[in-house]
Chain A
Amino acid sequence: MSGPAGGRRVLVTGADTFWGGRVVQALEADPQFEVILGLGTGTPTVSLERAEFVRADQAYSILSRIVRATGVDTIVHTFMVVDSTAVKPRALHEINVIGTMNLLAAAGAPGSTVRQVVVKSSTMVYGSTEHDPNTFGEDTPRSRPPANRMERSLVEAEQLVHDFAEDNPQVDVGLLRFANVLGTEIVTPISANLSRPLCPCIFGFDPLVQFVEEDDVVRALEHVVRTGVRGTYNVAGAGRLPWSEVAAMCGTRLVPLPPVTTGLAASPLQRLGAVDLPPELAALLRYGRGVDTRRLVGTGFGYRYTSAGAVHSFVRALRMRRGVGRRPRSYVYEHDVEQFFRHSPSVISTSEA
């Protein structure tokens, strides 16, 4: 798995998003990764040291050209939308399904140099219904077909990844399914709800939920990129907590929504911005979800946080944010400045010294 000059050449999708940026930063620290390309639709939100940023449309139509031109051996596909409130329904399908399809088509093209593909998915592919087992293993099928757009797009995208792995035995395909993420930085519908003084729950339901801390997300992706393990892996902190306990830890008060016509009752509140309740979260707040994490641990990965630890980490960050107020964005991407640092002969390269 080495490029022309010995080091690895990695392409990270969604480099302008939270996860892509974090993964690029993690890989930059290791000289083993000689070339790091960040692909994104916007501008990077974190400061990138030596990675090159390439702007592309969300369906990655130029991807096969990039792969051919740069001879990357590893693709880390972090640009999978798992929050349906973040994008329009149309874009969700476009990004998750069409984007993944084009990416894999580029990776599997004849003469492709790609030898490893790592995909970031979500435990949402298991769904959340009353028919579910208490714990989903990687091979446990869904109990019911996907009921919402979010899950459907992820299931379709994963199917593409499975097919790709079957058709390209020369490529190490790692598929990571992450539980709901909490941490110091990330904003999700769950973290948004927990940050407010009032937080939704569904009357009479207190589901068990499992979390993974954002550092463990990046570390798990890095672990799979480094070890090249194949297969599907659940990534989630040990243990699970009732939603009421999560709310109590965060110091927010639960507001019960009616168990029938939940969506109808929630929609005016959603419009006011008082709650975030996408359909996939409404299902989770009823039946919860738990996953078996033994398989990834078996490959040598060690978690730093448990589920409760992830909540604790989020609570600490929440308290601090309340203490200091909104902090200014620490980094603004300037294309010319970044080009100058990377390519100007006047810049003294420290990495070769």
Chain B
Amino acid sequence: MPGPSATGTPGPGAKPRGTMAEVSSSPGGRPPPGGTVPAGRASTRDSVGPTVAPADGASRAVVPLRVRAPGPDETEYRLSDVDEWGRSEHMRAVARALYDPVYSRWFRAEWDGLEKVPETGGALLVANHAGAIPSDAPVIMHGIEKELGRPVYGLADYFFRTIPVLGTLWSRTGGVAANPDNAYRLLHDQEQLALVFPEGTKGSSKSFTERYQLRRFGRGGFVEIAMRAGVPVLPIAVVGSEEAMPTLLRFSRLSRLLGLPYVPLTANMVALGPLGIVVPFPAKFKLKVLDPVGFDVPPDQERYPRSKVMEEAERIRTRLQDAVYEMLAERRSVWFG
């Protein structure tokens, strides 16, 4: 018989499936007992409900929209609506209200192919990353929440967690550390939308002379996550992010000294002074959702062939790069699109 570490699991690779308490109760944070679902949440609830098998199997005939976890109600006694990811719907609403003028007036974000984002089920959103303080992440998260009413969890470097105040705000407004376990739990167990920038800081730190030239897509980890979770990858090409905050110079020694990924001198700082550290230029944002990429592999495998993973990652990178070039060829003005 196996020792403690091996017992109780279905076996290696087969991660515990979300059929019990966790799934039904976690993504929404607090379903009102027996009441209605808040409007912004309806779609996620729906997406979770039918996949949850009743724990006892007795009431299988009727699959309610919201399956209450067996045992005590975890929203009882709670004072806030912060969910297990640290996300608070209340904080999101505040952030949405504050960010909407930036989204619709400053950047005048315009979407193409938004209907390709599924209304239910998990999907991994993948986009190109640019700008010293990249505006692409909030624009995509805000846009999809506003247009489709689906929450998007933004996966970012764990470095964010270490920054006081900012790390907490980032978490409350839907940020999650880019950890493979986190991504699997979000995409597979909870069927959410997760956004990732495979270029990472290599994308946002590149200088303006290299604008819109996509960096290496890491080691293809995002493809492996999507394969394991059994969800499609949805590439999103973004134009406008480079001009919103162009990097002129990088101070590598200073960044090492401060323990930051990079310390740039941006055109914004030159033009606006200290204000330019945070204020982006009003470049016109255009976003194009490309066709979803599915993978012809079984989910929940321990490992996937590296060659296959790299090949798929490179294919997605090429498609995104081509789409970005295409959009740039169509663009008449940086500021007016």
Give A residues with C-beta under 8 Å from B: 130-135, 137-140, 161-163, 165-166, 169, 173-175, 202-206, 208, 229-233, 237-242, 245, 248-249, 259, 287, 290, 292-295, 297-299, 302-309, 311-312
Please indicate the chain A residues that have their CB under 8 angstroms from the CB of B20 in the complex. 294, 297-298
Task: Check B310 for interface membership: any CB of A closer than 8 A.
Answer: no
A231 touches B84 (CB 8 A): no
Could you name 6 residue pairs across A and B whose Cβ atoms are closer than 8 Å?
A134-B181, A137-B15, A238-B25, A240-B84, A259-B164, A294-B21
B158 touches A131 (CB 8 A): yes
Q: Which residue in chain B gives the minimum CB-CB distance to A206? A: B168
Q: Which residue in chain A gives the minimum CB-CB distance to B85? A: A134
Complex CA distance for A135 and B236, rounded to whole angstroms: 28
Please indicate the chain A residues that have their CB under 8 angstroms from the CB of B21 in the complex. 238, 293-294, 297
Complex CA distance for A71 and B181, rounded to whole angstroms: 45
A304 touches B72 (CB 8 A): yes
Complex CA distance for A299 and B55, rounded to whole angstroms: 12
B84 touches A239 (CB 8 A): yes
Task: Check B114 for interface membership: any CB of A closer than 8 A.
Answer: no
A133-B181, A204-B163, A294-B22 given; A238·B74 CB < 8 A: yes
Given A137-B16, A230-B1, A305-B72, 10 more A-B residue pairs with CB atoms under 8 Å apart are A132-B179, A133-B181, A138-B8, A208-B84, A208-B86, A238-B22, A238-B69, A242-B80, A245-B80, A290-B84
Please indicate the chain B residues that have their CB under 8 angstroms from the CB of A294 in the complex. 16, 20-22
Which of A137, A139, A208, A239 sits near B74, CB closer than 8 Å? A239
* B1-34 Cβ-contact flags toward A at 8 Å (1 or 0): 1111111110000011000111001100000000
What is the distance, in angstroms, from A262's C-beta to the closest C-beta of chain B? 11
Task: Check B75 for interface membership: any CB of A closer than 8 A.
Answer: yes
What is the distance, in angstroms, from A287's C-beta to the closest C-beta of chain B? 7
Task: Check B176 for interface membership: any CB of A closer than 8 A.
Answer: yes
Please indicate the chain A residues that have their CB under 8 angstroms from the CB of B75 in the complex. 239, 308
Q: Which residue in chain B gives the minimum CB-CB distance to A313? A: B77
A165-B4, A309-B77 given; A130·B168 CB < 8 A: no
Which of B3, B22, B82 sits near A242, CB closer than 8 Å? B82
A249 touches B77 (CB 8 A): yes
B176 touches A308 (CB 8 A): no
B77 touches A311 (CB 8 A): yes
A241 touches B185 (CB 8 A): no
What is the distance, in angstroms, from B157's C-beta to the closest C-beta of chain A? 10
Complex CA distance for A239 and B69, rounded to whole angstroms: 11
Task: Check B271 for interface membership: any CB of A closer than 8 A.
Answer: no
What is the distance, in angstroms, from A105's C-beta to the closest C-beta of chain B? 17
A137-B16, A238-B72 given; A130·B161 CB < 8 A: yes
